[in-house]
Amino acid sequence: MNLIPLLIGYRHNFDGIFIEPQAGYMVIGAKMNSAEEGTMTDSGGLLSGALSIGYVFDKQVEISARYQVAGKNGSNLNLFGLRLGYNFSLGRGK
């Protein structure tokens, strides 16, 4: 199964702590193999929303937790994730 989230959001910082709400669309694709029916594929999409909360250490290393939900016609897909990341600048240093 493939899940591709297409979300927009905003990150608000509070002295190292941040919250990041997001909203958008999730594209879902699945491929199933069956001896009787052969290969079947299906795809679709769901409305999606997410909320992350985290902390940035020394303006470079961050740790965060994220909860994301996507749904359509009364069925939901819920995801929870933990992230450890490194932020680097693409601009010129002075």
What is this structure's pTM? Answer: 0.76
Mark 39-53 as b/e (b = at least 16 C-beta within 10 Å).
eeeeeeebebbbebe
Residue 24: enclosing H or E segment and its boundaries?
A: strand 17-34
pLDDT (tens, 9 = 90+) of the chain, 94 residues, equals: 888 999 999 999 999 899 999 999 999 888 888 888 788 888 889 999 999 999 999 888 999 999 999 998 888 889 999 999 998 888 876 5
pLDDT at 18: 96
pLDDT at 85: 95
The domains of the chain, with CATH numbers, are 2-86 (2.40.160.20)
